[in-house]
Chain A
Amino acid sequence: MSANNAHIQSLIAGAIMDINELPSLKAYLNQKQDVTSADAVLKFSAFICKVKHNFLWESFPLTFKLIHDLKLDIEIFIHFLPDYQKSRKEKGLDTPAKTRLFLDFLISYLANKKQKPFRILYTALQYEMAMRELNDFKDVALPSQRRRRPVSDQTSIRINGKIFIAYLYAETGDIERWRNAPKTIQTTRSLSRVMYWRALPGADIRILKLNKESADILMFLKSGMSISEWIYAGGKKRSTDTVMEMLHFLIENQIVQLY
């Protein structure tokens, strides 16, 4: 009996720590005609994974709170288990690396889900990512802008300060209030592109709604690409007039500058 207890506990431990081991547990349960639910073990594994991410209360408090309030925690962490368990095998991940791993998963998990709870989460996450990136802005140097500059560009353009282009299903002014009233959250059906912009460290954060083209060009510039590369990437869709119009807007608002 003792050996049997140890074997069962080992099977459960394996299934909790590695979803690839769940079939072994299921096979055992089938063989013994045991009513234990392997799905319940899977949910428990997701719960443990969630608890191991309690550090997100500190860095992404609104997103993590909403994951709870919207009762999506177990579902989301079940889907995160493969990435998480793989990362556990590469020992020594620090908290920032664990945070990045979860955020990369969550953004991609939420991206194509249209139901309201997911739209709320996606928006909260984008908002907090924007705030985090801009609050971390302490250095005026912009390494990504220096990455490479095509020889053909006689004049280069760079972003003034730091920007984050967020894709939101809500009015920007509403999001911060979600913390206190999760049941009254209103969302929009379509995404809006919003730029959170801090021109200098310590300066106020400005918020601007963008059209698709402006958002695209700023994303290109942010990733260190040039205007010509952006035009090239767009094929024949991007006329010189459109480009000039957008550049004029960005320069006039001091979002970018020529140098």
Chain B
Amino acid sequence: MEASYFDTPRIGLAFSKYLTQISDERLNDFDYIEVPYEALHFEKDLLPRLLVKPLILHCASLSLGGYTPPDDKTLETIKYFTEATGTPWIGEHLSYILADKPDNNHYEPYSHEPYNIGYTVSPVMNQHSVENIITNIKRHETYFGVPVIIENPPLYFKVPESNMTQSEFINSICLQSRTELLLDLTHWYISSRNFSFDPFEEIQKLPLHRVKEIHLSGVSQSADSYWDNHAGRTPEIVFQLLELVLKTITPKAITFEYNWRPELEWAPLKKEIEMVRKMLDAKNVLHVS
């Protein structure tokens, strides 16, 4: 797939099982599929079934915010799928998933193996972390041959030693490198609720001109916190954030992440896609095929 396909903004869906079974008619409702490397890795026959649409590779294994690198085999496999999918970029979380175990760990018999959390976690947000992330991104971009764009994680707790807000942290990375962004507006909204800031005001402090892709998904509330929820629909307030962002920039891709349930009600999704198309259309930038 040529990168030029995304020269005009596209609307896509995050991979979920239902996408391998949908009708041709529904395939026409969206432009691309965003697929996690991890799904391609664990389901060997998945890739050929997804090639009916252009693909963007998403990833949660690079541990960009960590100090423990992924193993060579993981990197080789990601590189293989980078080429096999023809992805124009790799979207990866501004997080870590791997961490070395402390020496004083008395509970694990195999302390030479790093922790693999199995889920991305926001890193310490300070200057040292900025430098570490930039180094990691550059190394991976050289190896994979495509840009690695970073996705803002939802914040659920303050990480010790952090002395930057998330917008300062992201700004620092962008100021000190050419890194581009995957702006997850739902994550942004969740962080704003958990850390009591105004999402509309604060988002304008982000380097929005670096945003290449946007994510949209649901939110849930439980145990006095707000949580990411790919099983629920995007709330109105997140669409309002999208509208605000689109006043400033035109992303190359907008992805709906509804991938935690095995089935999906198509009619409401189609309405949401149409609504976003109208927002883009109002900017007069939508691709007409």
Chain A residues touching B, majority SS? helix
Residue of B whose beta carbon sits closest to that of A14: B115
Q: Are A73 and B118 also in contact (CB < 8 A) when A5-B128, A6-B67 are?
A: no
Residue of A2, A35, A74 near B225 (CB, 8 A) is A74
Q: Tell me whether B117 and A34 are in contact (CB under 8 A).
A: no
Of B34-42, B153-161, B168-176, B241-249, the stretch lying at the interface with chain A is B153-161
CB-defined contacts of B156 to chain A, threshold 8 Å: 40, 43-44, 47
CB-defined contacts of B261 to chain A, threshold 8 Å: 54, 57
CB-defined contacts of B123 to chain A, threshold 8 Å: 5, 9
Chain B residues touching A, majority SS? loop
CB-defined contacts of B96 to chain A, threshold 8 Å: 9, 13
CB-defined contacts of A7 to chain B, threshold 8 Å: 102
* Interchain Cβ contacts under 8 Å between A and B, 10 examples: A5-B126, A6-B100, A11-B102, A14-B99, A16-B117, A41-B157, A43-B156, A47-B227, A52-B118, A74-B223
Q: Per-position contact with B for A10-50: 1 when CB-CB < 8 Å, else 0? A: 11111011101100100011001011110011011011100
A138 within 8 A of B: no
B105 within 8 A of A: yes
B121 within 8 A of A: yes
Q: Per-position contact with A for B139-163: 1 when CB-CB < 8 Å, else 0? A: 0000000000000000011111100
A71 within 8 A of B: yes
B133 to chain A, nearest CB (A): 11
B235 to chain A, nearest CB (A): 15
Residue of A whose beta carbon sits closest to that of B104: A24
CB-defined contacts of A203 to chain B, threshold 8 Å: none
Q: Tell me whether A17 and B159 are in contact (CB under 8 A).
A: no
Q: Are A54 and B231 also in contact (CB < 8 A) when A9-B96, A16-B121 are?
A: yes
CB-defined contacts of B118 to chain A, threshold 8 Å: 48, 52
Q: Tell me whether B99 and A74 are in contact (CB under 8 A).
A: no
**Complex Cα distance A29/B161, Å?**
10
Residue of B whose beta carbon sits closest to that of A44: B156
CB-defined contacts of B100 to chain A, threshold 8 Å: 6, 10
B262 within 8 A of A: yes
B66 within 8 A of A: yes
A238 to chain B, nearest CB (A): 46
Interface of A toward B, CB cutoff 8 Å: 1-2, 4-14, 16-18, 20-21, 24, 28-29, 32, 34-37, 40-41, 43-44, 46-48, 51-52, 54, 57-58, 68, 71-75
B179 within 8 A of A: no
A2 to chain B, nearest CB (A): 5
CB-defined contacts of A41 to chain B, threshold 8 Å: 157
CB-defined contacts of A54 to chain B, threshold 8 Å: 231, 260-261
Tally of contact residues, B, Cβ under 8 A = 44
CB-defined contacts of B262 to chain A, threshold 8 Å: 57-58
Q: Are A8 and B225 also in contact (CB < 8 A) when A32-B160, A34-B160 are?
A: no
Q: Tell me whether A44 and B157 are in contact (CB under 8 A).
A: yes
Interface of B toward A, CB cutoff 8 Å: 65-68, 96, 98-102, 104-105, 107-108, 115, 117-119, 121, 123-124, 126-129, 132, 156-161, 220-223, 225, 227, 229, 231-232, 260-262
Residue of A10, A17, A48 near B102 (CB, 8 A) is A10
CB-defined contacts of A32 to chain B, threshold 8 Å: 160
Q: Tell me whether A18 and B107 are in contact (CB under 8 A).
A: yes
CB-defined contacts of A40 to chain B, threshold 8 Å: 156-158, 225
**Complex Cα distance A14/B220, Å?**
26
Q: Are A5 and B161 also in contact (CB < 8 A) when A21-B107, A48-B119, A71-B221 are?
A: yes
Residue of A17, A43, A46 near B117 (CB, 8 A) is A17
CB-defined contacts of B127 to chain A, threshold 8 Å: 1
Q: Tell me whether A6 and B99 are in contact (CB under 8 A).
A: yes
**Complex Cα distance A11/B231, Å?**
30
CB-defined contacts of A12 to chain B, threshold 8 Å: 99, 121, 159
Q: Tell me whether B231 and A74 are in contact (CB under 8 A).
A: no
**Complex Cα distance A46/B227, Å?**
11
Q: Are A43 and B99 also in contact (CB < 8 A) when A36-B158, A68-B220 are?
A: no
CB-defined contacts of A11 to chain B, threshold 8 Å: 102
Q: Tell me whether A13 and B159 are in contact (CB under 8 A).
A: no
Q: Tell me whether B99 and A13 are in contact (CB under 8 A).
A: yes
CB-defined contacts of B220 to chain A, threshold 8 Å: 68, 71, 73
Q: Tell me whether A73 and B222 are in contact (CB under 8 A).
A: yes
7 tightest A-B CB contacts, nearest first: A40-B157, A74-B223, A13-B99, A6-B67, A13-B115, A1-B128, A48-B119
**Complex Cα distance A157/B214, Å?**
64
CB-defined contacts of B105 to chain A, threshold 8 Å: 14, 21
CB-defined contacts of B158 to chain A, threshold 8 Å: 34-37, 40
